[in-house]
Structure 1
């Protein structure tokens, strides 16, 4: 029984890494299309380090600041680990945004 739990966790981790890899491959073309990088970490986290050109909209204020985003351009969301950016992506999709991409950790964007 425990082996199935461990196997499930391993499969979940592999799936998450694969989906992040797929999104990261898209980043250059998304940026060419005018993609907006939205960092949903707290202001304090953002000031400690961030991707140049990214916009800090903490997850807890995203609902009230959603009008700052251009729905006609790709939205690239990041945070510290990928959890908050996943929630942000879900929120934006429920608000009618279609071209939303979760890259997970903001540091993964430093190579672009």
Structure 2
């Protein structure tokens, strides 16, 4: 196989594996984060959220998050989720940039249903 094709394919595979591994690590922490009073913030749109969500989660769409950060308790863990993990990754970075320290990206919201 042509080497110019192999390296990009390996990079994509490595990225996907890294993303799955980091979400797996967060999901292992979820029970203890919830015991500490963790807040689940679902950053999907209101329409997506009404179609299905984790009971007890708070819907703050990503485009509204910066304006509503003051509604979050910075002393408790924050678990962000969305449809695929991309928007929640952006939400995590946004929260950390704005002084939140205990923020975790759980990725797909449905992965939280078992907790």
Q: Under TM normalisation by the shorter chain, which class is it?
A: over 0.9
Within 2, Cα distance between the matches of 1:87 and 1:16? 14
Which of 80, 93, 96 does residue 93 from structure 1 map onto?
96
Within 1, Cα distance between the matches of 2:52 and 2:73? 24
Q: Which runs of 5+ in 2 are unaligned?
A: none
Within 1, Cα distance between the matches of 2:18 and 2:46? 30
Give the count of matched residue pairs. Answer: 112
| Corresponding residue of 2:75 | 72
Runs of 4 or more, structure 1, over 3 Å off, are: none
| Corresponding residue of 1:51 | 54
| Corresponding residue of 1:6 | 9
TM (norm. structure 2) is: 0.97
Q: Which runs of 5+ in 1 are unaligned?
A: none
Within 2, Cα distance between the matches of 1:100 and 1:67? 15
Within 2, Cα distance between the matches of 1:63 and 1:18? 28
Within 2, Cα distance between the matches of 1:84 and 1:15? 17
Indicate the RMSD between aligned Cα atoms, in angstroms.
0.3
TM (norm. structure 1) is: 0.99
Larger-gyration structure (1/2): 2
